[in-house]
Amino acid sequence: MTTMADVAKRAGVSIMTVSRVVNRSGYVKPSTRQKVLMAMQELHYVPKGQQSSTHDTWMLIVPDITNPFFTFIARGMEDVARKHGFRVFIANTDEDLDKEQEYVQMCLDYRVRGALVVPVGDPSRETLARLFENQVPFVLIDREIEGLDADLVKGDIRETSRRLVEHLLDLGHERIAAVVGPLHSASSRERIDGYRDALLQRGLPVDDRLIFTAPMTREMDASFVDELVRRPDAPTALFLGNMFQYAHIVRRLRALGLRIPEDISVVSFGNTDDLASVDSLATAAVQPAYNYGSLGAQLLLERIEGVRKTTTKIVLNSEIVMRSSTAPPALRTAIKG
C-alpha cells in the first residue's frame, strides 16, 4: 500500500509537506502543492481516513455555478439523486484545469459513487481517464471530449447555432460577427461550426476576422468590441456564445452609443428560465439545462446499478425564442473615437 512517505519521495518534499497538503493545514507554495498532488495521483495514494467509501455521495463538477445554466443542471441532478438516496457535492472549477484535477482527486480520495462532469475542455481527457482507471462511473455534460468514450448528455449546439445565424441571414444581414468561448471546448467549436454552416449554405464567405473567442463568464472583458464596430466594414449583427457574453457586449455597445436592434442585431445562447429572462430583449436559444442534469443523473444511476454496459449519448434540442434584439440591417453613422 502506498504511504505518505512514498508520496514525499516521489514529489521530492518532506512528509510534513505532504501532510499539510493532505490535511489542508499550513501554508504550502502552489508549485509544491501541485508536485504533491501529482505524486498522489501517479501513486494512486488515498489518505488514511478517506479510504472508506462514501456510498451515498455523487459529485457534480461544473465550470461556474454562478451561471444559471449550470445551476439548473445541478437542480436536475439533485432531484434524481435524492429520489434514489444519494447526496450531491458540487465542485466549481472556474474553467481551471488544476482545480478540475483536484476535484477528480477528491472523487478518488472519498470514493464517491459517481460524478457528472462539465469538463474544462480537451485537456481534461487525461484527468478524467483516471476515473475510468479507478472504476468511478461518470457522465459528461454539455461538452464532449474527443477520444473519451464516456456517457454524454449535451445539446444540439451546432444545429442551434446554425438556426440562430440563419435568422440573421433571413433578416438580410450578411456581415455577422461571432463570439464564442475558448476553442479547447468542443461546445465552442460546435458554435463556430454552426455559424460557418449557415454562411456557407447561403453562399457567403467566412471571414475569420469576424470570429472571436472570449471567456463565457462574469469576468469577461468586452473591450475588443470597440475596434470591431469602428471598422469601415463593421458587422451589422452579432452571434454570441452565452448570456454572460451577451450582457457584457450589449453593455459595451450601449456605451458606444449603438442601439439594439436599430444599429446592430444580436442573437445568443440564452437563459434557461423564462422567469430569469422575462425582461430580456435577446433573441436566444434556450437549452433544457434541467434535463441535462436529470438525464445525466439517470445515466449515472444505470451505470452504478449495472443495468447498462454500452456508452450512451443523448442530444437534446434547444428552443429559439424570438424577442426584440434583431431587425433588418440599417445604415448607421460611423462611430467616432
pLDDT for the residue numbered 230: 94
CB atoms within 10 A of CB 324: 11
Percent with pLDDT over 90 in the chain: 74
Segment 137-152 mean pLDDT: 96
Q: Name the class of domain 1-49.
A: mainly alpha
pLDDT for the residue numbered 34: 87
DSSP E strands, the chain: 54-62, 87-92, 112-117, 138-141, 151-155, 176-180, 211-213, 237-240, 265-269, 283-286, 313-316, 319-321
Per-residue pLDDT reduced to its tens digit, 65-80: 999 999 999 999 999 9
Q: How far apart are CA 236 and CA 250, in angstroms?
A: 14
pLDDT for the residue numbered 269: 95
pLDDT for the residue numbered 241: 97
Query: Would you say residue 307 has pLDDT above 90?
Result: no
Query: Would you say residue 53 has pLDDT above 60?
Result: no
Cβ 143 vs Cβ 183: under 8 Å: no
DSSP classification of residue 51: -
Q: Do domains 1-49 and 50-155+291-317 have the same CATH topology?
A: no
Q: Where are the domains of the chain?
A: 1-49, 50-155+291-317, 157-287
Segment 140-144 mean pLDDT: 97
- What's the CATH code, domain 157-287? 3.40.50.2300
Exposure class string for 136-170: b at 16+ Cβ within 10 A, else e: bbbbbbbbbbeebebbbbbbbbbbbbbbbbbbbbe
pLDDT for the residue numbered 274: 64
DSSP classification of residue 123: G
Per-residue pLDDT reduced to its tens digit, 256-304: 999 999 999 999 998 666 656 666 889 999 999 999 999 999 999 999 9
pLDDT for the residue numbered 46: 72
In which band, very low, low, confident or very high, does the pLDDT at 4 lie, cut at 50, 70 and 90?
Answer: confident
* pTM exceeding 0.85: no
Query: Would you say residue 20 has pLDDT above 80?
Result: yes
Cell numbers given for 157: 449546439
CB atoms within 10 A of CB 306: 8
pLDDT for the residue numbered 56: 87
Segment 92-107 mean pLDDT: 94
28 residue type, one letter: V
Residue 109 three-state SS? helix
Query: Would you say residue 249 has pLDDT above 90?
Result: yes
Query: Phi and psi for 165 in degrees, rounded to 5?
Result: -70, -35
In which band, very low, low, confident or very high, does the pLDDT at 21 lie, cut at 50, 70 and 90?
Answer: confident
Q: How far apart are CA 274 and CA 6, in angstroms?
A: 54
Q: How far apart are CA 245 and CA 250, in angstroms?
A: 8
CATH 3.40.50.2300 fits 50-155+291-317, yes or no: yes
pLDDT for the residue numbered 276: 60
Cβ 93 vs Cβ 117: under 8 Å: no
Per-residue pLDDT reduced to its tens digit, 183-232: 999 999 999 999 999 999 999 999 999 999 999 998 899 999 999 999 99
In which band, very low, low, confident or very high, does the pLDDT at 30 lie, cut at 50, 70 and 90?
Answer: confident
